Amino acid sequence: MRSRDGNYSFSLRLLVSLLFTLSLNAQEYLISYRYVVKDAIIYNESLQVSKTMKKCNGDTYQPIILENNGSKNLKEIISKNDELFRNYIHKIGLNIKHNEITNNLQNSSTTILTLKTKCFKVDINDNFAKIALFK
């Protein structure tokens, strides 16, 4: 948009102030995730979310945007968009432990996927939640 004198500086200032405001509203959370697959069935799944006590340092990784229906609870938002969040953390990197046992010609396998506790920058809005990992 142009201002009355024909310059674009007004809209640029508005955009910069909007982005600055959005970054001020962002909070930092510690998130850890673990699920266990036993014989190709999800056996156990846990998601831990808590606010940080200290500031996280560094740049952020490419963010993910999850839909939100007005909730302010991050754990609830992630649970509603669990497949998108799982795909996101798979890209970040999970620790994988796999164990396979054969006993009396019967196979049994257990796989444990873990996202160790990491710091995330989270901006929760009425319509969406933007989550980005600190590198």
How far is residue 20's CA from residue 25's CA, in Å, rounded to a whole number? 9
pTM of this structure: 0.72
- Residue 47: per-residue pLDDT: 92
Dump pLDDT digits (tens) for 2-28: 455 555 554 555 444 444 444 556 899
Secondary structure in 3-state letters for 47-99: EEEEECCCCCCCCECCCEEEECCCCCCHHHHHHHCHHHHHHHHHHHCCEEEEE
**Percentage of the chain surpassing pLDDT 90?**
53
Dump pLDDT digits (tens) for 110-119: 999 999 999 9
**Average pLDDT, stretch 98-117?**
93
pLDDT at 1 > cutoff 60 = no
108's tokens: 């049994």
**Can you count the helices (H) and strands (E) in the chain?**
3, 6
Residues in the chain: 135
- Residue 21: per-residue pLDDT: 42
